[in-house]
Amino acid sequence: MKQILIVEDQAEIRELVRISLEFEDYDIHEAENGVVGWDLLRTLQPDLILMDLMMPGGIDGLELCRRVRADARLRRTKIIMLTALGTGADRSAGLAAGANAYLAKPFSPLELMKTIGSILS
């Protein structure tokens, strides 16, 4: 079973993503900010991280993405950015930090599931 970690500060978005994922056979974990997400990442070593770009707590999505890519134990972990920042420059920054995919909010659950399917296959 694939492990997925959702790192998102908005509880409603975490719930929407979790509900979308529950239709598939995933082991789902959640973190409300980058600090908690970083702690869980090192313990869980998930297959996929779905993360926001803008988060409170000192570690935003770009920093968290860079940390994942710099950690030898986590380098194979796939990352999908889910963010309200949808400009070309924002997308480029996310991909340059190491994200495998970048979805701008609002995104459809179907679009999210297709992206997850292609990233994890």
What does the pLDDT read at residue 9?
94
The reported pLDDT for the residue numbered 41 is 96
Indicate the helix (H) or strand (E) that contains 48: strand 48-51
Residue 35 is predicted with a pLDDT of 96
Q: Model pTM? A: 0.94
Which CATH superfamily groups domain 2-120? Response regulator (3.40.50.2300)
| pLDDT (0 to 100) of residue 121 | 87
**Contact partners, residue 119, CB within 8 Å, separation at least 6:** 48, 78, 80, 100, 101
b/e sequence 89-121, b meaning 16+ C-beta within 10 Å: ebbebbeebbbbbbbeeebeeeebeebbeeeee
Distance CA 100, CA 82 (A): 11
User: What is the pLDDT at residue 91?
Assistant: 86
Taking the domains of the chain in order of start, what are their residue ranges?
2-120
Taking the chain (121 residues) in consecutive chunks of 10 residues, what is each chunk's mean pLDDT?
96 94 94 96 97 90 95 96 83 91 91 95 87
CA distance 119 to 47: 10
